[in-house]
Structure 1
Amino acid sequence: MPELPEVETVRRTLIELVVGKRIQAVTVRLPRIIQRPAEPEQFADALVGHTIETVERRGKFLRIMLDGLVLVSHLRMEGRYGVFKSEEQIELHTHVIFHFDDGTDLRYKDVRQFGTMHLFRSGQELELPPLNKLGIEPLEETFTLEALHGKLAERSTKIKPLLLNQEHIVGLGNIYVDEALFQAKIHPERTPDTLKPAEWKRLYEAIRSTLALAVEAGGSSIKSYVNGQGEMGMFQHQLLVYGKKDEPCPACAGPIEKFTVGGRGTHICSKCQPYVLSAKSRTQ
């Protein structure tokens, strides 16, 4: 699933490709992609005549900002956007097509068919699902060490599922949580109430630096991710532990291990990320 760096890369690419384009018609070929309004015909009719002004991001969601409307799009597992000339052949698994009046299309392709689109009046999108319960953005100024500590410090749940919970911090997925926890030298099954001040600082810095480097590299193309121009991300070549099972740890040369935490495949170096019992467990 595309995480924050991949969605941010798609956002930047779409700004180059579609800003200023006016929608002439919309074709919905798979109605269930459209979550709001209830009828795909209403979705298509509402967009006709509107111009794309910019593209923003909230967590893993794209916000395509038009004059008076906002299209909120989630790529889910394998959704992708591309711009094509209108006469070009439509690829298999293309489910929504935005036809522009300059003879080009913005096409949404999704092999797994899990992506979603919601249409709102401008400003309304932040007050209603799916954006209204999202947490803090890890690459914005509001994401501080104090904000991270305030969100998680009192919780006794394992740290990895908490970091994956989009109601706390948005945009983090399996890849970047594994990478950040490794850099912070924190075992993913530890609980926030066991973390010391120095560990909180390392975790905060690791989240920021990992995401910033991934955005700079265009994200990670682990499976099928490409940006709006069909280009792969390159951060997978900089990953330290994710997908490296049985390979030597880049810090201590011990083997990278893989196991499951909260139902998600998890990569660690047990020497660099030692497990520490929770404060509650130590008193029993």
Structure 2
Amino acid sequence: MPELPEVETVTRTLNILAGGKTIEKVVVSLPRIIQRPKEPEDFEAALEGHTILNVERRGKFIRFVLDGLVLVSHLRMEGKYGLHDAEDEVAKHTHVRFRFTDGTELRYKDVRQFGTMHLFKPGEEFTMPPLLKLGLEPLSEEFTYESLVDRLAKRTTRIKPLLLNQEYIVGLGNIYVDEALFQAGIHPELTADRLKPAQWKLLHAAIRDTLQRAVDAGGSSIKSYVNGQGDPGKFQHELLVYGRKNEPCRNCGRPIEKSVVGGRGTHTCAACQPLPKARVRKSG
């Protein structure tokens, strides 16, 4: 699933491809993609005649800001947007087409068919799902060391599942959590309440640094991800642990290990991310 760097890259390319264009017609070929309104015909009719003013990101969601409407889109596993001439042959698994008045079409293709689209009045999208309960943006000014500690430090949950929870911090997925924890030297099974202040500072810095470098590289193309212009990301060449099972750690040379934490495949270096022994309560 695309994470923050990939969605940020797609958002930026969509601004280039579709920003300022006016929708002439919308064609929905797979109704279940449209979550709001309930009827795809209402979705199609509502968008006609509106202009895309800007394309923004919130967590892993894309926000198409139009004149009088906001379209919230989630790519899920393999959703992709691409700009085409309206007369071009429509590829298989193309489920939504936005035809513009200039003769081009923005097409949404999704082989896995898990993507979603919601339509709102401006501002309304933040008052209900799917954006309602999203947490801190890790590349924003609000994401400080203090805000990270305030939200997570007292919790007895393992740190990796906490970082994956979009209600606390948005945009982090399996790839970048593994990378940030490695950079901070923190084992993913360590519970948040056991992290020391110095570790929280390292983790805060690692999250920001990892995500920013990934954004600068256009994201990671692990499987099928490409941006709106069809270009793959390059950050997969810089990954330190994710996807590197049995390969030597770039810090110490010890083989990278793969385990399961919170139901997710997890990559660690046992030497660089030691897991302290659990504290034993004394009786009596």
**Taking structure 1 as the reference length, what is the TM-score of the superposition?**
0.98
Match of 1:283 in 2: 281
Shift of 1:193: 1.0
Shift of 1:277: 3.8
Structure 1 unaligned blocks of 5 or more = none
Structure 1 contact 194–277 (Cα < 8 Å) conserved = no
Match of 2:54 in 1: 54
AA aligned to 2:36 is R
Match of 1:78 in 2: 78
Structure 1 contact 27–98 (Cα < 8 Å) conserved = yes
Shift of 1:276: 1.7
Structure 2 unaligned blocks of 5 or more = none
C-alpha distance in 1, partners of 2:268/2:109? 34
C-alpha distance in 2, partners of 1:163/1:181? 10
1:263 correspondence with 2:263: yes
Aligned Cα root-mean-square deviation (Å): 0.7
CA deviation profile, 1:4-46 (whole Å, cap 9, x unmatched): 0000000000011101100000000000000000000000000
Structure 1 contact 190–277 (Cα < 8 Å) conserved = no
AA aligned to 2:78 is E
C-alpha distance in 1, partners of 2:91/2:215? 28
Match of 1:122 in 2: 122
C-alpha distance in 2, partners of 1:194/1:184? 15
C-alpha distance in 2, partners of 1:56/1:132? 16
Shift of 1:283: 2.0
- Map 1:194-213 to 2 at 5 A: 194-213=194-213
Match of 1:102 in 2: 102
Match of 1:247 in 2: 247
Match of 1:131 in 2: 131
Identity of aligned residues (%): 69
C-alpha distance in 2, partners of 1:40/1:230? 27
C-alpha distance in 1, partners of 2:112/2:192? 35
C-alpha distance in 2, partners of 1:159/1:42? 43
Match of 2:143 in 1: 143
C-alpha distance in 1, partners of 2:266/2:206? 17
CA deviation profile, 1:144-179 (whole Å, cap 9, x unmatched): 000000110010000000000000000000000000
C-alpha distance in 1, partners of 2:259/2:140? 32
Match of 1:229 in 2: 229
Match of 1:17 in 2: 17
C-alpha distance in 1, partners of 2:35/2:256? 41
1:31 correspondence with 2:25: no
Shift of 1:282: 2.9
Partner-residue secondary structure (3-state), 1:95: strand
C-alpha distance in 2, partners of 1:131/1:276? 37
C-alpha distance in 2, partners of 1:199/1:142? 19
C-alpha distance in 1, partners of 2:173/2:90? 31
C-alpha distance in 1, partners of 2:281/2:198? 23
C-alpha distance in 1, partners of 2:56/2:220? 20
C-alpha distance in 1, partners of 2:94/2:190? 43
- Map 1:152-167 to 2 at 5 A: 152-167=152-167
Partner-residue secondary structure (3-state), 2:114: coil
Structure 1 contact 63–72 (Cα < 8 Å) conserved = yes
